[in-house]
Amino acid sequence: MFKGFTRFLHSPGEQLKPLLDSPESTTDALSPRIIPRSEHPVSRQQMSDAALKVLYRLNSAGFDAYLVGGCIRDALLGKMPKDFDVATNATPEQVRDLFRNSRMIGRRFRIVHVRFGREVIEVTTFRGQPQDEHGDHIAQQSDAGLLLRDNVWGNIEEDALRRDFTVNALYYNIADFTIHDFANGARDIESRTLRLIGDPATRYREDPVRMLRAVRFAAKLDFTIEPNTEAPMYELAPLLLQIPPARLFDEVLKLFMSGNGLITFRLLSHYNLFGMLFPEAEEAMADAAWAEELIEQALTNTDKRIAEDRPVTPAFLLAAFLWAPVAHRQAELERDGMPAIPALQTAAQEVVARQLQHTSIPKRFGMPMRDIWELQARLPMRRGKRAFQTREHPRFRAAYDLLLLREQAGEIPRGLGDWWTAFQQGDEHEQLRLLQKVGSDPASQGDRRRKKRRKPRKAEQ
């Protein structure tokens, strides 16, 4: 049976059918289907030592301890889980008391992080329905300032039904290695289906970020979003505008920095979700074909780098996402007489200020993002020592990459990118020759704009 399950996952067929037809297989989510160890492929070898330690210690202290969420979903799909979430009937205080290396975090959801070196195991207490009177209300014990109604404890059934997708509500019990399936998640794993638990529109209204999660999992797992789960998204997409920018930024990182950025972007656009995250980028794409091409290319390159285990930075992607609106505004300001660099800086400031109402952009990404933009105005200016100075800028490489994308996407004619390619590859002699070419060639956009310098106008806000 073990083999049967695994094989079934690869080629939908007959192996798991007996299980699905078994009497326990029911749509009544409150009676779980319990899949014995012999009938599922999830093994302790797929789990980290840290996760196992947490599970065993909770268990031997008399608590229930399950692995749940992405790690079980991914293990069933034959992928190596990357992080482990534990669900238990121990309260956060009880968990904290069991692990010296733990701390309580979270406001919306109070959870405990147990740390082992660099690995963190997230331990959550079963949650019930906020309005459920049977839920054991723990509010009195909590610190001041907690959103109390989000910390109502419940039993495992209630906990399962509060989770988002059926495939995320599979619980692996460390006591007997069974998997408890409250929402037919195993069936949906087999058919590679993403299905919200409960009424989709209600679940999206409760938490609109679930729409982003649907797209993220569909892209990452190559799952189909089930029609009822899919249908309300187009219309409910604007609910994302109510989500705090910091939370949306966290989601943006997961959406685009996990190696499936391009397909994620296409799905987001399809469901009208991309415009809720980056409205000005969306507008710019409607105005100019190159804007979309540039974003697609940036994501293609990022996905490729991730696949090759090379480093990637969100700063570059953000710079690419927002470049078209910045360039558009810069052009307007230049038409009004502002020189290139101040126009670019002003445009950047305006676009970022508006973007921050949708997603936050932490300084560690925002600063390099602006540098990458500003260098776009410096890259054409190569005379004298300038090319050498620009070459030494810490963001030169990223700025050069963006320049190549702009040429590739058709925003600007090709030429400058090739010049910089040659300049980087050339020896001293070749570099001097290239610099002379800039000096003598009126067609190569040198820093001639300086001549037109006028007093910068005060930026409009």
When the beta carbons of 220 and 378 are compared against Mg ion, the nearer one is: 220
Distance of alpha carbon 3 from alpha carbon 9, whole angstroms? 10
Q: Which residues bind ligand ATP (CB under 6 A)?
A: 69-70, 83, 85, 163-164, 168-169, 207, 209-210
Stretch that binds Mg ion, among 59-67, 68-76, 92-100, 244-252 (CB under 5 A): 68-76
Residue type, 130: P
User: What's the closest the beta carbon of residue 191 comes to Mg ion, in angstroms?
Assistant: 22
Residue type, 169: A
Helix and strand tally (H, E) in the chain?
23, 12
User: What's the closest the beta carbon of residue 53 comes to Mg ion, in angstroms?
Assistant: 18
User: What's the closest the beta carbon of residue 238 comes to ligand ATP, in angstroms?
Assistant: 18
H-run or E-run covering 88:
strand 85-88
Tell me, by CB under 5 A, how many residues bind Mg ion.
2
Stretch that binds Mg ion, among 48-56, 77-85, 225-233, 329-337 (CB under 5 A): 77-85
Question: Which of these is catalytic: 64, 164, 181, 371?
Answer: 164
User: What's the closest the beta carbon of residue 151 comes to ligand ATP, in angstroms?
Assistant: 15
When the beta carbons of 75 and 347 are compared against Mg ion, the nearer one is: 75
> Which of Mg ion, ligand ATP, none has residue 168 at its interface (CB below 5 to 8 Å by kind)?
ligand ATP
Strand partners, 225: 194
Q: Binders of Mg ion among 357-416, rule CB under 5 A?
A: none
Closest residue to ligand ATP, judged by C-beta, is: 70
User: What's the closest the beta carbon of residue 228 comes to ligand ATP, in angstroms?
Assistant: 17
- Taking the CB of residue 198, how many other CB atoms lie within 10 A of it? 15
Distance of alpha carbon 110 from alpha carbon 139, whole angstroms? 11
Tokens 């500003």 belong to residue: 374
If you ran DSSP here, which 8-state letter would residue 231 be given? T
Q: Is 441 a catalytic residue?
A: no
Distance of alpha carbon 20 from alpha carbon 169, whole angstroms? 17
Q: Is 28 a catalytic residue?
A: no
> Which of ligand ATP, Mg ion, none has residue 39 at its interface (CB below 5 to 8 Å by kind)?
none
Q: Which of 4, 70, 185, 325 binds Mg ion (CB under 5 A)?
A: 70
Distance of alpha carbon 335 from alpha carbon 103, whole angstroms? 56
> Which of Mg ion, ligand ATP, none has residue 208 at its interface (CB below 5 to 8 Å by kind)?
none
> Which of ligand ATP, Mg ion, none has residue 380 at its interface (CB below 5 to 8 Å by kind)?
none
∠ CA 341-344-350, nearest 5°, is: 145
With CA atoms as reference, report the closest residue to 69 among 132, 178, 163, 138: 163
If you ran DSSP here, which 8-state letter would residue 119 be given? E
Enter the tokens of residue 158. 């209630």
Relative to beta strand 224-225, strand 152-153 is unpaired
Residue type, 201: A
If you ran DSSP here, which 8-state letter would residue 184 be given? S
Stretch that binds Mg ion, among 55-63, 66-74, 225-233, 432-440 (CB under 5 A): 66-74
When the beta carbons of 75 and 291 are compared against ligand ATP, the nearer one is: 75
Question: Which of these is catalytic: 85, 159, 188, 371?
Answer: 85
User: What's the closest the beta carbon of residue 451 comes to Mg ion, in angstroms?
Assistant: 57
With CA atoms as reference, report the closest residue to 320 among 405, 216, 379, 420: 405
Enter the tokens of residue 443. 């067609």
> Which of Mg ion, ligand ATP, none has residue 210 at its interface (CB below 5 to 8 Å by kind)?
ligand ATP
Q: Is 164 a catalytic residue?
A: yes
User: What's the closest the beta carbon of residue 434 comes to ligand ATP, in angstroms?
Assistant: 47
With CA atoms as reference, report the closest residue to 189 among 214, 162, 221: 221
**Pattern of binders to Mg ion over 266-305, x per CB under 5 A?**
----------------------------------------
> Which of ligand ATP, Mg ion, none has residue 209 at its interface (CB below 5 to 8 Å by kind)?
ligand ATP
| Alpha helices, DSSP H, located in 308-362 | 314-335, 340-355
With CA atoms as reference, report the closest residue to 251 among 213, 217, 223, 295: 213
When the beta carbons of 129 and 258 are compared against Mg ion, the nearer one is: 258
When the beta carbons of 83 and 283 are compared against Mg ion, the nearer one is: 83
User: What's the closest the beta carbon of residue 121 comes to ligand ATP, in angstroms?
Assistant: 12
H-run or E-run covering 52:
helix 49-60
> Which of Mg ion, ligand ATP, none has residue 187 at its interface (CB below 5 to 8 Å by kind)?
none
When the beta carbons of 136 and 207 are compared against ligand ATP, the nearer one is: 207
Relative to beta strand 111-116, strand 102-105 is antiparallel
H-run or E-run covering 408:
helix 396-409
Tokens 């507008």 belong to residue: 283
When the beta carbons of 70 and 325 are compared against Mg ion, the nearer one is: 70
Distance of alpha carbon 77 from alpha carbon 196, whole angstroms? 19
Under the criterion CB under 5 A, does residue 81 sit at the interface with Mg ion? Answer: no
Query: Which residues are known to be catalytic?
Result: 83, 85, 164
- The residues that touch Mg ion, with contacts defined as CB under 5 A, are 70, 83
